[in-house]
Structure 1
């Protein structure tokens, strides 16, 4: 059964648009997923300004998950990682007790091209919110794939469908990319209590409802969900065990409001280290209100 369908809300990030899905007023999280943005697709011409880049900024209490369908983003962070991400790879950055990073579009600035992907945040569970920050890039060889009967599937993170991704996660979860031919069917198992599907492009049917591009369907627990592709479609499946309520303010996520206030004070006072390779600028803490 579908509990809720969430329509993306378009947000201009100062050079390209994203479709924000989570958090949503009626559904703050799905499993540990506390944030879900559909980036683009955005077409860039060579030579665009650096104001489009995402300057260094901080996070606590989460892992950020970047996954691209098209394009390239260069990641730099305060634990020393400098990593371009390409389609079919995963950049998994664990903020834990605190990390800063930037996201630059240097290849697109030089060559032009299309940027299209998903950025999600996964909340760290109780007892692990303050783990040491870390970064990992995983190529397609680390991400199990399956193909048959009009379905191509890649398990980006977690466990599901009898497979397990090599991406290190911190709580029971799944995150999967499907490509479906028109008329193809695929099933979302019932093994996790919180599950959702986001349609990137195309149209699918599930539980007697039609789900359109830019919509996330959140499902009730307990029963498998059968999907049928009305047209060729790209779908992201996500969810897992809940980690408990989280507060989210700007780029900070925590089970404690006091911890978020401390992170804000640390960033305001310059106590959070910037990336060594990218420390000439940063995003100031937004003014309250």
Structure 2
């Protein structure tokens, strides 16, 4: 009886984790939609980037600060924490700049190549080498990205290079996060996450600031910070309730949110190349996930 109740409780926690993960991705899609809307209203994407980090840092400091959490600012790898924070800032800024010209579904489909890039770079940078099968999956996934961006054809937009830069920054951000997990606490890493972005953007305010005249613009500027912060908060809660390999496939539900918001807010309909390329990238990512699950199951038997 106890086993049955324990299994039911575990299943309930996993379902709660999945629900939180889906909420996370809905917030991230709203973040991108807000940034694109602001760009359409003439707001400098760099100002949106500043607000993304100003709101984030303000909310984080209310919970995590040296007064309430002594030692939270103490890190064993300050340089790596700063680099990680700068990579997150670079990812956000490049994404917001790309969204001025690209559809939500286009930028997101390119971002889905992040796990593939992480798998490719984890070997030389972290010593986590991929098998030949995984490398083939990575190669196929990048073919999917080429289908989306279609370099060398008339439909190619230079803005996709910004989105690719966003993907690369985020891949290195993930790798530095993995590295820091072994030397610093999660609270310390969260504390430093938005500081570099705020530090870089604050001196630029006199050149990028324009006072919004509409309350809706103010709401969207605050929204980019709230959506990002709440999304990451729900992400932490989700991972506290369910294993990463259970949650990972639901990352791709963000494409559904982005397509829906793109259509409802901007009237955008993804073209067939975006959908075909996204399908290839998602398929490659799911294959890598399946390989990781199989490896995790066989690892104890190999000891």
Report which of the two has the higher share of helix: 2
TM-score w.r.t. length of structure 2: 0.25
Select the structure of larger CA radius of gyration.
Answer: 2
TM-score w.r.t. length of structure 1: 0.26
Report which of the two has the higher share of strand: 1
Structure possessing the higher relative contact order (Cα contacts under 8 Å, 6 or more residues apart):
2
